[in-house]
Amino acid sequence: MKLIWVLFGITLLALVAYGFWRPANIRDTNGDSREMPTETKNSFLKSTNYSTNADTREASKLYKNYKGELSITALRDSLVQFAQQHQGLPYQEAGLKPTGFDCSGFVQYTFAHFGLEVPHSSALLAKEGEPVPLSAGRKADLVIFTGTTIADRTPGHVGIVVNNGVNGLEFIHASSNGGVKISKVDSTGYAQRFLQVRRVL
């Protein structure tokens, strides 16, 4: 009988240890520290309905406000090229400039360079534009993830799509683990944290 209780105790300990280890084992521990508005949390928990019209009215709102001379395709390319020039810059909580960025601060800074205003909040960025399937993500789309608590399926991290080809979707973001860098969704912890892609341009 004593042996049964010992085995039970070891099993219980192993389960508790696994519960603590699993979230910590995700390679990038990045999250957005700003509190999400309650209405955003509630609306985001509803199922995502992909628009069949993701290149029109809402999705092009930012481009309609664009004052430059680039075509929308050239703007997407230029935006991604500009973002890539910042690889290696440091992460800083609530950071908005090249001395240090957080995830949404980096997105805001990149878009602002082209005169495009987006919010400094992953929760609010998750409401911009129109949702599109992961397989349809393209340059300059936003990719939205949970924070480090995967069970909390609300926005907590954001990046900008760089490429979506044979290696799957790749995105550039300000990470607490390495600063501004390019990461993949497929076969990484981001696959578990993925929420949606948003077409804003």
- Closest by CA to 60, choosing from 130, 138, 117, 161, is 130
Distance between CA atoms of residues 57 and 154, nearest Å: 25
Catalytic residue, from 86, 113, 120, 157: name it: 157
120 in catalytic set: no
Catalytic residue, from 86, 103, 113, 120: name it: 103
Catalytic residue, from 86, 113, 120, 173: name it: 173
113 in catalytic set: no
Active site residues: 103, 157, 173
